[in-house]
Structure 1
Amino acid sequence: MNSSFGLKYIAQFFLFVALQILLMDSLVLYSTGFCFIYIAFLLFLPLSINRVWLLVLGFIVGFTVDMFYDTMGIHAAASVLLAFLRPHVLNLLTPRDGYDSGDAVNIHTMGWRWFLAYTFTLVLIHHTAVFFLETVTFQTAWYTIVKILLSTLFTGIVMVILQLLFFSPKRERIDYR
């Protein structure tokens, strides 16, 4: 793993967490649609990242957001769940030719259908965990389901916009020398 690889993902970590805390916290649609942009850090990591590192990074990013939101571990738990299930979702979505060892999650490389299935599946899982851990009751289940669906749609659209604006259309390869 070279130093530019590490610096790129460290910068992404700080950027996504800062965007979440400073901007997305106050950007809510009708008090039901929330955008949790910080999970883009976990979703956009390389496909071949070590599973243990993925779980550790999931905890760190979730715990960091929990510290600022004062949510007592809800985001850490949901992020670790996302990090745990990410390799399984990737296995389900494996293209016919398989993944290259240096592929990164990129809408231009993997295609629209793959990216939308990958993103919306993991965002839905994450948001379901966040909102049901937050509620801890099924009395308001319909309202919670509406929050999950609207927030998943909101976050997914923002992820697609991020990919189109900031990620290169060229095939992004990672050099592990």
Structure 2
Amino acid sequence: MQGLGTIVVQVLRFLLYVLVHMLIVSRLPSLFGVGWCFFYVGFLLFLPIATPIVALLVLSFATGFAMDLFYDTGGVHAAAAVLLGYLRPWVLRLLTPRDGYDAQDSVNIHQMGWQWYLVYTALLLVLHHTVFFFLELGSLRVVGLTLLKILVSTLFTGITLLIVQLVFFPARRRR
């Protein structure tokens, strides 16, 4: 029954992130015309560390596809989200602590610490945003503006997800 409970919790988290993005975040103005918040990516970033790669890729596609349907973007969100889902285990391996991860660990700033969380989030957000904006552009004509969009959107999304971590993710008390 524990497995079913975990699945139900993740489905509810998926709905929460996607609906908050669609109903609230999508209505936010852009930052200086170059920065957008990709709030839905938080669902993929904050999944439990032990999430199997197949489930991660399916969830990544479903999340990106939902955004593509909402924005009518023809697969750009899905492609960037699937790449994020594919690279997430590599980044987690790259950042593995000396003692390794516990089976029940999740991506949580309170458990992993500020430095680990910031490196993890920055790496995956930069990769996601780079793929998204270059696929959206479809060429390398306006590289400077695209790099500015990547930088500002990464900061905007990163700060938003940091606030979500600090407010909604509980600090695990150490005994």
Deviation at 1:94, TM superposition (A): 0.4
Q: Extract unaligned runs of 5+ from structure 2.
A: none
Counterpart of 1:6 in structure 2 is: 7
Counterpart of 1:103 in structure 2 is: 105
* Count of residue correspondences: 172
Structure 2 Cα separation of the partners of residues 2 and 78 of structure 1: 28
Say whether residues 1:16 and 2:12 are aligned partners.
no
Counterpart of 1:175 in structure 2 is: none
Counterpart of 1:39 in structure 2 is: 41
Deviation at 1:3, TM superposition (A): 3.1
Structure 2 Cα separation of the partners of residues 170 and 7 of structure 1: 22
Structure 2 Cα separation of the partners of residues 90 and 105 of structure 1: 10
Per-residue CA deviations over 1:13-35 (Å, capped at 9, x if unaligned) read: 11111111122212221111100
Deviation at 1:7, TM superposition (A): 2.1
Percentage identity across paired residues of the two chains: 51
* Runs of 4 or more above 2 Å deviation: 1-4
Say whether residues 1:92 and 2:62 are aligned partners.
no
Structure 2 Cα separation of the partners of residues 2 and 135 of structure 1: 41
Q: Which piece of structure 1 moves more, 111-120 or 5-14? A: 5-14
Counterpart of 2:142 in structure 1 is: 140
What RMSD, in angstroms, separates the aligned Cα atoms of the two structures?
A: 1.3
Q: Extract unaligned runs of 5+ from structure 1.
A: 172-177
Counterpart of 2:27 in structure 1 is: 26
Per-residue CA deviations over 1:3-61 (Å, capped at 9, x if unaligned) read: 33222211111111111112221222111110001011111101011101100100000
Matches within 5 A, 1:24-173: 24-27=25-28, 28-170=30-172
**TM-score normalised by structure 1 residue count:** 0.94
**TM-score normalised by structure 2 residue count:** 0.95
Q: Is the partner of 1:25 in helix, strand or coil?
A: helix
Q: What code does the residue aligned with 1:154 have?
A: F
